[in-house]
Structure 1
Amino acid sequence: MIIGRRTLVQGALAAGLAGPAPALAGQETREDMAASIRLWPQGAPGGAGVTVVEEETDRSPPPAPLRDRIIKGVRDPDLKVFRPKTPNGASLLIAPGGGYRWVVRDKEGYECARAFAAAGLTVYVMSYRLPGDGWAAGPATPLQDAQRALRLVRREAGRKGSGLDPARIGLMGFSAGGHVAGCLSLMFDEAVYRPVDAADRLSARPDISVLVYPVATMRPPLAHAGSRQLLLGKDPTPELEARWSLETRAREDAPATFLLHAADDASVPVENSLALEAALRAKRVPTEMHIFGEGGHGFGLRFTHGKPVEVWPALVLSWWKRRGFI
């Protein structure tokens, strides 16, 4: 059966996924007050030399139609939990973007969480520490948080009576958050921190992965220069670049991966996704990729209206269904 764009958009609308709902405009909602889970109850590892102060900035204060908050200097990363009215048993961990300079809260975090929660998923939006803030782990700092976050999501799914399946934990990342998610998908079993509790005995491997306009390579000329410098420093060695380039880390046991990018992305070249898809396919990892002619960078949900890329949430839902994830 051939599914047309109209059908996809109608399906997305039915699931509340074709764009931000009016209730989101310029105000707090009950989801914004969702439960929080601290990643590191006793403090994040390797913070002895960290002096940054965590702060949230609203770049579009009222009367802007939608909030646009960012978090700088993350010191106490957490998960914000968005619970659906009718859970389907699957969980989703979201890593928003921000170029490794900050972490976006609304556009690629809360808005997408609400939309996918409306489709039945229990969604966790993570904040993560930034590698340029002086943490001892350096480039591995966001990976520490991502591994810990996935394990905590799996712990929550394994709790008696949760109604969630610990074998159906999905991952979604945007832009630099796509690099965080990609690192987790490909380096889930690397020992990047000392275990702190029983949750760290759980697997950090996501069961399925969605990367949206991801920063993938750290090698010029295709690397996103800002993310590369903040992650690796001003003059990284070729070995360090390769270590943190997703296309060099593809492995046979990586989770099935969905890639989404716009060809006119002027910030993160579409070749980032193309190279990663080729590397995953060479390892026989089940992979689906969608390249749209227009959409730019950072569209999330709010900047898709009237463009072909508007159907991306429906494409993801369709892929999840075909893969048996939902």
Structure 2
Amino acid sequence: MDMERRTLLGLAMGAAVGASSARAQTQADAGRAGPPDPAETLRLWPDGAPGGQGVSITPVVPERSTDPAFHDRYAQYTTDPILTVFRPARPNGSAMLLIPGGGYRWAVLDKEGYDVARVFAATGTTCFVLRYRLPADGWAAGADAPLQDAQRAMRLIRSRAADYGVDPHKIAVLGASAGGHLAGLASARTDAVYQPVDTADAVSFRPDLSLLMYPVATMEGPHVHEGSRDNLLGESPTPTRLAAYSLERMDWRGAAPVFLLHAMDDAAVPVENSLQLLTTLKAAAVPVEAHLFQEGGHGFGVRLTQGKPAQIWPDLARAWAGRLNFTL
């Protein structure tokens, strides 16, 4: 999809929702039931996101839920990436960067972001939900624009750990679906994909623990999620480029321990994405634990697991992390 068409789509969606910013959308939804959104946010780029000279899009945060009991919002055409901060009542010293999915077309804020953050904040983990830029919106970095945001987010959290009562060596990343792919890139890659902008960029951008939920892992072969691949790399990427962004083809040696979670009946992102990555992690001697549930489908987060085997996944993740001396 070319830039002109995406710009027109962004403007049209902005008119449809009657607001051109995430703040306006949040205000419009303020009357819905359920816990309020945290008021604390942190901008990633104080002087604006890098490589935005060719970007002319309008941010939108549409509401998909028809049930007044809960939100189901997604962020699209993001230009000013932010972290939404969930501070626990009794911090346990750990932090978690949450990267929701959305096929690199948008970022699902509630189901795989805020909802999950509340679960882990309830047991003491300080959570940060990332609203990231999308690769086809005209950013100079293209496919690396989301990774720029993920790396910068991890550095900001780590550099300000004392402000949040967090151990700088106890910062996890949790990514779901395409967000799992982005979290995987942030975990495996050792090269910074942007130039330093301030002192926060002097610290490490790699997580100390990685939790990947039904991740989009491969960019090639029969198990690829085509929407994520096309939105990330375009419609005709070269074989070399496909391999470069396939998590199972990357060098994971030295990466933090990984927790994999997938449902066997996932019809959107086949479980082979996790299975192939599991093989790679084992070969690279990365400590890894995998849980495959008979049913659950795709995109279940925490709210859609009720009454299903996957309902226990947060407890499984906490137990796994605890064995690694990492409290979640």
Where in structure 2 are the equivalents of 1:173-184 lying within 5 Å?
Answer: 173-184=175-186
Name structure 1 gaps, 5 residues minimum. 1-24
Instruction: Confirm or deny: 8 A CA contact 1:50 1:133 kept in the other structure.
Output: yes
- 2:290 equivalent in structure 1: 289
| Per-residue Cα deviation, 1:263-288 (whole angstroms, up to 9, x for no partner) | 10000000000000110100100000
Q: Does 1:304 find its partner at 2:305?
A: yes
Show the counterpart of 2:17: none
Partner of 2:255: 254
Question: Does the 8 Å CA contact 2:151/2:192 hold for their aligned counterparts?
Answer: no
Matched residue, 2:155? 151
CA offsets 1:28-81 (integer angstroms, 9 cap, x no match): 634x133100001100001111111101100114x4432100111010010000
What is residue 35 of structure 2 aligned with on the other side? 29
How far apart in 2 are the matches of 1:47 and 1:254? Answer: 31
Q: Segments of 4+ in structure 1 off by > 2 A?
A: 25-30
2:33–2:68 Cα contact (<8 Å) kept: no
In 1, the alpha carbon distance for the partners of 2:49 and 2:62 equals 22
The separation in 1 between residues aligned to 2:279 and 2:221, in whole angstroms, is 18
Q: Rate the CA distance shift 1:309–1:28 in 2: closer, same or farther, 3 A.
A: closer
Higher relative contact order (CA 8 A, sep 6+): 1
Distance in structure 2 (CA, Å) of the matches to 1:149 and 1:174: 17
CA contact (8 A) 1:173 1:214 kept: yes
Q: Secondary structure at the match of 1:101?
A: coil
SS of the residue aligned with 1:131?
coil
For these two proteins, the number of residue pairs brought into alignment is 298
| Cα displacement (A) at 1:26 | 4.1
Counterparts of 1:29 and 1:202, CA distance in 2 = 34
* Structure 2 counterpart of 1:185: 187
Instruction: Give the whole-Å Cα distance in 2 for the aligned partners of 1:33 and 1:168.
Output: 22
Q: What is the 5 A alignment of 1:8-27?
A: 26-27=32-33
Q: TM-score, normalised by structure 1?
A: 0.89
Partner-residue secondary structure (3-state), 1:126: strand
How far did residue 212 of structure 1 move? 0.2
Please report the TM-score for the alignment, with normalisation by the length of structure 2: 0.88
- What SS does structure 1 have at the residue aligned with 2:160? helix
* Aligned sequence identity (%): 54
How far apart, CA to CA, are the structure 2 residues paired with 1:257 and 1:191? 21
Gap runs ≥5 in structure 2:
1-30
Q: CA deviation at 1:164?
A: 1.4
User: Which amino acid is 2:60 matched to?
Assistant: E
Partner of 1:52: 57
The amino acid across from 1:108 in the alignment is: E
In structure 2, C-alpha distance between the alignment counterparts of 1:250 and 1:106, rounded to whole Å: 32
